[in-house]
Copies of this chain bind each other. A is one copy, B any other.
């Protein structure tokens, strides 16, 4: 997605060979127009899949997921990373290891918001080591529902998450794929379209 790649080039900050900061439009400040375009792109990519629900994870997944939900005409459920007072239902949970923070955490969705008839599109802001996405897939499968695709805003293709998701046999679409952050520079993967 060219508009997104240009935004990353213009406003992204390479903090290390593994960390890209996009706090000006996705992870702290949000650009609503760009998120609408991101949602339209996800909708266009997955509109033939019969999506009934979008599942994402707080907090940075919410804006792109809600815009995709608006365009696909389906509700969005966001997994919580911490306990919430009114989240008292029967919870579906998954354990997610963060390589950056080196901590294990639990993510949760109320069982009542997923049914075995659901055909779920998983959306997240970043794909690095794939742990969050795999946790979301696990939760959807615990509900007996099907995952028809995974939509990622920014994929760090030099980490192993993409390979792990591909091995699940699920369709993955990333709107910007980063080959490298070496030399303080964002280099996108050169994709060959047949």
Contact = CB atoms under 8 A, between A and B. Distances in A.
Given A21-B86, A70-B33, A85-B101, A113 B28 contact: yes
A59 B80 contact: yes
Interface stretch (A71-79, A165-173, A175-183): A71-79
A66 B154 CA distance: 19
Contacts of A30: 62, 65-66, 69, 75-78
Nearest to A35: B66
Contacts of A69: 30, 32
A113 B24 CA distance: 8
A30 B113 CA distance: 10
Interface string A34-51: 011000000000000000
A9 interface: no
A194 B87 CA distance: 40
Copy count, this protein chain:
2
A180 to B, nearest CB: 18
A61 B74 CA distance: 19
Interface string A90-118: 00000000001100000001100100000
A29 interface: yes
Interface residues of A, number: 42
Contacts of A25: 75
B84 A27 contact: yes
B15 A86 contact: yes
Given A28-B78, A28-B84, A62-B62, 13 more contacts: A15-B86, A23-B89, A23-B110, A24-B113, A28-B110, A30-B62, A30-B76, A31-B75, A32-B69, A32-B76, A36-B70, A62-B66, A66-B66
Interface of A: 15, 19, 21, 23-25, 27-33, 35-36, 58-59, 62-63, 65-67, 69-70, 73-78, 80, 84-89, 100-101, 109-110, 113
